[in-house]
Amino acid sequence: MLLYTLRWTKERLKFPLYFRLKGNADITERSFVLLNGSSVSFDTYFNSFCPLKWSLFTELENVKLSIRARGKGKLTIYVRDRHQIQIERELEFDSIDTVLDIPFPKSESLVYPELEAKDRLEIQKLEYHTESPKHYPDLTLVMNTYRREDFVRSHLVDLKTFIQFHPDLKDKFQMILVDNASTLGGLSESFLSLIPIREGSEGCGFTFGIEKVISQQKSSHVCIMEDDVEFDPFFLERLYSFLALLKPEYHKSIVAGAILRYDSPLIQHEIGKEFRGYYSKSLLKNKNLSFQENVLQNEGFQFPKNGFASWRLVSIPLELFSEFGQIYPMIFHGYDLEFFLRSRAHFLSLNGFSVWHEINDYTREKWFFYYKVINHIILNLIYFPDKKNIFLLFFAYRVLLDLMLKNKKEELFWFRKALEDVFMDIEEFKKRSINDILNLKIDDHSEISYFSEWKYIIGLIYRIIREKSGLRKKFQSILPDLKISPKFTSAK
């Protein structure tokens, strides 16, 4: 069974995530040619084997390295931990096509090969395998998009390439694309299902995709990914093998993808988040993954009690939706956190399961502040009704830091609007769309004194706290509607 392929890239900025080169090489998509006297090491984020997570959470028992290379060279297998680097095996060869046992230390370490060219050496294949007799699960990738046609078309090319490399997964992979602007007509791939949605439809676009997956009753897992990311499609290899090998007690776990920075490709923005009531703290933030010590730190990382991950890239067993229901009708912000608070799902991370994403892209838009405020209020009302300190800390954090100290007038409008909309009718709330917000005319209340404006806002905050019980019941009333038919059972 293939665990995953050791990959390389032609993008120089990303070299340190894939390999470390000493000397010269000719690199193509299919081959890596080392010139005489040069060497390449795969002690990297994408290509080292990190045994700890596999030993803790899967039934993996052995690991092998499949290698095919043409020319004279030397292969060295290393094991590195936080304290030392050990040579486990050395082998000189004149062309090679074999499968070798490699160490599986079941500890926080990196296992990796290094190749040295004694002449011109063409590396044709490097793969991690196992003899574990498991079968890959059926997986559906759900992507929610809005007017990002170039991103989507590029993703389809990458995914088509992946399927061509893995014909054995052709019947186990499909993609559902939720097109929220109905601008992607004409797309045709054997693995693709397109769901065009009228622009301005209410709710979270991922909901439509998940409903489609559930209705098909084929997949056991849904991989949710945002549209405006860059990714190496071969992350699917390690996801497939990791899911196939999970121990029974972790079958309901969510596998979280790390978020790397689009502007600084070596930097991990976060591996996940920790919810602290009035804000969420990024975990393992701004780690340079070209450093092995940071890759090891990722390997040793486990999510804390209130740890979760944003849905830029996650793999969720459909069984969780069957048990806890669909996505709460929040737009843009908070639905991933709400689902965690409702399900209390366990999260796992896996080195190499990641995407590059532009940090704070749409959050630069002033209207996004509206969703951050109202959705966080709703979360506090539903899940922390008796913790006034958390609720008040949230408001103090938002009001004092983001508004009063920085004198942000436009954000003040969105803050006021969010507070007012907490009191809207629940049916109206469920039918909201992004267009309802984008089409609002911004009123800065310039005719009202600064003191009167803040008096009005503080009055709204006080009213929310005073009417907390009734508001909680109102927003909780949506939860039963999210339940999925009990007839559904996830595919095995």
Write out pLDDT tens, residues 76-126: 999 999 999 999 999 999 999 999 999 999 889 999 999 999 999 999 999
| Residues 58 and 185 placed together within one structural domain of the fold | no
Instruction: Give the number of domains in the chain.
Output: 3
Range of the domain at 358: 139-362
Residue 116 belongs to domain with CATH number: 2.60.120.430
Report how far residue 402's alpha carbon sits from residue 411's, in angstroms, rounded to the nearest whole number.
8
Task: Give per-residue pLDDT as tens, 349-367.
Answer: 999 999 999 876 544 566 7
Report how far residue 486's alpha carbon sits from residue 478's, in angstroms, rounded to the nearest whole number.
18
Residue 257, phi then psi, degrees to nearest 5: -90, 140
| Residues 352 and 463 placed together within one structural domain of the fold | no
Question: What percentage of residues in the chain have a pLDDT greater than 70?
Answer: 86
Task: Give per-residue pLDDT as tens, 174-228.
Answer: 999 887 666 777 777 888 888 887 655 545 678 888 888 988 888 999 999 988 8
Which amino acid would we find at residue 80? Answer: R
pLDDT at 349: 96
The angle at the Cα of 341, spanning 337 to 344, to the nearest 5 degrees, equals: 115
Question: What percentage of residues in the chain have a pLDDT greater than 90?
Answer: 51
| Residues 154 and 298 placed together within one structural domain of the fold | yes
pLDDT at 280: 85
DSSP 271: S
| Residues 251 and 354 placed together within one structural domain of the fold | yes
| Residues 260 and 392 placed together within one structural domain of the fold | no
Residue 281 belongs to domain with CATH number: 3.90.550.60
Closest CA to 232 of 18, 82, 481, 487: 18
| Residues 256 and 349 placed together within one structural domain of the fold | yes
Q: 2 pairs with which residues across the strands?
A: 129
Residue 258 lies in a domain: yes
| Residues 413 and 287 placed together within one structural domain of the fold | no
| Residues 160 and 281 placed together within one structural domain of the fold | yes
Q: Is the pTM of this model over 0.95?
A: no
Task: Give per-residue pLDDT as tens, 408-420.
Answer: 677 778 888 889 9
Which amino acid would we find at residue 299? Answer: E
- The per-residue DSSP string of 330-348 comes to --SSSHHHHHHHHH---EE
pLDDT at 393: 66
- Largest distance between two CA atoms of the chain: 83
Task: Give per-residue pLDDT as tens, 241-263.
Answer: 999 999 999 999 999 999 999 99
| Residues 306 and 192 placed together within one structural domain of the fold | yes
Around Cβ 329, how many Cβ atoms within 10 Å?
Answer: 18
Residue 176 lies in a domain: yes
Closest CA to 141 of 198, 63, 80, 193: 193
Last residue of a domain, one of 296, 327, 362: 362
